[in-house]
Amino acid sequence: MHTTAVAGAIAVHGVSKWFSASDGSALQVLDNISLEVPAHSVVAILGASGCGKSTLLNIISGLVTPERGEIHINGVPAREFDDWRSVSYMFQEDRLLPWRTALRNVEFALEAGGMLRSERESRAREALKLVGLEAFADAFPYQLSGGMRSRVALARSLVLEPCILLMDEPFSRLDALTRAQMHEELLRIQQLKNMTIVFVTHDVEEAVVLADGVVVLAPRPGRVRELVAINLPRPRDTTQNATAQQAHHLKSLI
């Protein structure tokens, strides 16, 4: 398998991962996973709870090292890749600091970079504007709805202008209506910024509405059951026939 050296491309080659179980034995969590994420595409990793989705995303992000296989980013093996600032990770929980305003939470992502405070602040304001929250810059997390908190977390992931955005079930705690709004928002920003997005979900409809390609994982140990391309026009909604059919197919696989 070869990968073109394009900014934003990700390739996973034969990745296997073991964890130690509580009795000390080795538990295999991922088995020989291979997949490719073309630059500027949106790929979903779909599977039941516990099948290794978060572990796979952690491996792609460099947070976890696999026992076998390797990751390429922009065509370079992950261990030689030196631009991790261009890769953002949005966690399942929003992880906002309760004692900081929305603006200061977004700025937090810039604080390691030795940037001037005024520069940090103007970039953070830009990112809040991008997610439609400029009017709430001075609000604290407890003053924000779930959807707004999610937008702040998204702004914090975007403020470094990543080429690649990794997301672990980022909208799973939102109600259906707010989730649908976040999906629209995310696709708008993805188009605007031309990012590559890899996101983890157990929600078939989320995968089918957002993704260009879906990696369906089978459980224990996690392995690729099927790679499904989704070539449907956007915006999609699951009341459309073709979209519903794809969703039905994905459901049958997990």
Q: Applying CB under 6 A, which residues contact ligand ADP?
A: 19, 29, 47, 49-55
Distance CA 108, CA 110 (A): 5
| Residue 235 binding result from ligand ADP, Mg ion, none, given CB thresholds of 5 to 8 Å by partner type | none
For ligand ADP, which is the closer residue by CB, 107 or 169? 169
Instruction: Tell whether residue 58 is a contact of Mg ion (CB under 5 A).
Output: no
Instruction: Tell whether residue 54 is a contact of Mg ion (CB under 5 A).
Output: yes
For Mg ion, which is the closer residue by CB, 54 or 196? 54
One-letter amino acid identity for 88?
S
Q: Cβ of residue 62: shortest distance to ligand ADP, in angstroms?
A: 16
Q: Cβ of residue 29: shortest distance to Mg ion, in angstroms?
A: 11
Q: Which residue is nearest to Mg ion (CB)?
A: 54
Distance CA 124, CA 130 (A): 10
Q: Cβ of residue 56: shortest distance to Mg ion, in angstroms?
A: 9
Distance CA 210, CA 227 (A): 15
Distance CA 248, CA 96 (A): 36
| Interface size with Mg ion, residues (CB under 5 A) | 1
Tokens of 136: 């709430």
Q: Which residue has the tokens 């995310």?
A: 186
Instruction: Tell whether residue 201 is a contact of Mg ion (CB under 5 A).
Output: no
For ligand ADP, which is the closer residue by CB, 50 or 113? 50
For ligand ADP, which is the closer residue by CB, 94 or 168? 168
Q: Cβ of residue 51: shortest distance to ligand ADP, in angstroms?
A: 5
Q: Cβ of residue 67: shortest distance to ligand ADP, in angstroms?
A: 13
| Residue 55 binding result from ligand ADP, Mg ion, none, given CB thresholds of 5 to 8 Å by partner type | ligand ADP
